[in-house]
């Protein structure tokens, strides 16, 4: 037995801190939560309200813009169609809305963080272990702070997803900017440009393919959170899997699982295709 006198409970102070936060800043969290919820419900309404063929057409169009390959568009339309065939179209649209918001938030948070990391070696030294920890912690853990601050529902599901999925964007933005040719930046300095001009004119555009790879990984990690997020009240495909498990309905669970895979393939091909196309354009079609 481990002696009692050496044990120390952090549960008590943490509960206290959370209570304090909720009591004093409850309004702030609620306003923030309502803001996200408003955007989410709006997007969800649009996706669920649109006719299925319109969403399919949009999928094809976006794929074509991203990859400039007609065949790729057709394949992705077929995969998206398959989600409907499985009878999970509505749930898929719910999950898609959740994913898009989570990815957008991840990029909005991750991109500036990545830029900051690339500019300061000290900040990078401090942040890298934290990012490592964020990626290695069991994803269940992220549900806890989200639950504490926002209660049950879609918003905490998004917050948990963002915390889990934001890391690749940060890492690869940092990497992409650090890989930009130093002579190029020196040339830009020699012509009297400021650091903002260099960031937006050179560093971010040249890091773009790497950043896209980060967004792609973030998307995949966000999808990995779908089932977990449904445990605290996010509806959609994750809930179907959860219900399948709870009722030992293997078929139902697997069907929803397939739909998640289909959604993952569509999002993956689009984000990956865009980054690759930009990169090959710059290298003269080598890649």
Partner 1 sequence: MTAILLNNICKVFGADSAAALHLLQEGVGKEEIRRQTGAILALRDVSITVGRGEILAVVGLSGSGKSTLLRVVNRLIEPTDGTVTVYGEDVLGFSGAALQAFRRQTVSMVFQGFGLLPHRTVTENVGYGMVAQRRPRHEWEEMSRQWIQRVGLSGYETAYPFQLSGGMRQRVGLARALATQAPVLLMDEPFSALDPIIRHDMQDLLLSLQAELQKTIVVITHDLNEAVRLGDRVAVLNDGSIVQTGRPAEIILRPANDYVSGFAVDVNRLRTLKACDIMVPSHAGQAIDLTVAEDASIEEVLSYQVLRKEPIKVTNSAGLVVGEIEWEAVRALLKRDI
**In the complex, which residues of this chain contact partner 1 (CB under 8 A)?**
181, 183-184, 186-194, 197, 201-202, 205-206, 282-284
**HSE-up (13 A, CA, CB side) for residue 210:** 19
Q: Which is nearer to partner 1, 155 or 177 (CB)?
A: 177
| Shortest Å, Cβ 193 to partner 1 | 5
Q: Which is nearer to partner 1, 129 or 192 (CB)?
A: 192
| Shortest Å, Cβ 202 to partner 1 | 6
Contact in structure between 236 and 124 (CB atoms under 8 Å): no
Q: Which is nearer to partner 1, 19 or 195 (CB)?
A: 195
Distance, in Å, from the CA atom of 187 to the CA atom of 67, rounded to the nearest integer, reads: 32
| Shortest Å, Cβ 182 to partner 1 | 10
| Shortest Å, Cβ 287 to partner 1 | 12
Q: Which two tokens stand for residue 287?
A: 């890649």
Residues in the chain, overall count: 287
Q: Which is nearer to partner 1, 203 or 239 (CB)?
A: 203
Cβ neighbours for 59, distance < 8 A, ≥ 6 positions apart? 73, 76, 77, 80, 266
Q: Which is nearer to partner 1, 173 or 218 (CB)?
A: 173
DSSP state of 166: S
Burial of 101: CB neighbours in 10 Å, binned 0-12, 13-18, 19+: buried
| Shortest Å, Cβ 197 to partner 1 | 7
Q: Which is nearer to partner 1, 137 or 184 (CB)?
A: 184
* CA distances to 7, 27, 102, 262 from 17, in Å: 20, 16, 26, 42
Phi and psi at residue 93, in whole multiples of 5°?
-65, -40
| Shortest Å, Cβ 189 to partner 1 | 6
């Amino acid at each position: 037995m481990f002696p009692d006198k050496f044990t120390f409970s952090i549960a008590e102070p943490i509960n206290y801190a959370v209570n304090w936060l909720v009591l004093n800043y409850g309004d702030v969290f609620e306003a923030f939560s309502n803001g996200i919820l408003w955007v989410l419900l709006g997007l969800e309404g649009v996706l669920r309200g649109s006719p299925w063929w319109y969403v399919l057409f949009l999928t094809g169009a976006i794929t074509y813009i991203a990859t400039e390959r007609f065949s790729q568009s057709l394949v992705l339309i077929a995969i998206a169609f398959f989600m409907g065939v499985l009878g999970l179209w509505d749930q898929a649209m719910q999950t898609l809305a959740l994913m898009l918001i989570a990815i957008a938030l991840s990029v909005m948070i991750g991109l500036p963080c990545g830029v900051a990391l690339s500019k300061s070696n000290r900040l990078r030294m401090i942040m890298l272990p934290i990012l490592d920890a964020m990626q290695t912690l069991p994803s269940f853990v992220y549900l806890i702070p989200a639950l504490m601050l926002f209660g049950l529902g879609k918003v905490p599901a998004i917050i948990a997803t963002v915390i889990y999925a934001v890391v690749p964007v940060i890492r690869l933005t940092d990497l992409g900017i650090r890989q930009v040719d130093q002579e190029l930046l020196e040339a830009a300095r020699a012509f009297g440009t400021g650091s903002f001009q260099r960031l937006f004119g050179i560093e971010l555009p040249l890091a773009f393919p790497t950043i896209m790879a980060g967004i792609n990984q973030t998307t995949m990690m966000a999808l990995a959170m779908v089932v977990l997020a449904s445990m605290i009240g996010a509806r959609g495909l994750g809930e179907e899997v959860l219900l399948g498990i709870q009722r030992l309905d293997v078929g139902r669970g697997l069907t929803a699982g397939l739909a998640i895979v289909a959604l993952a393939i569509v999002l993956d091909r689009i984000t990956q295709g865009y980054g690759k196309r930009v990169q090959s354009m710059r290298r003269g079609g080598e890649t």
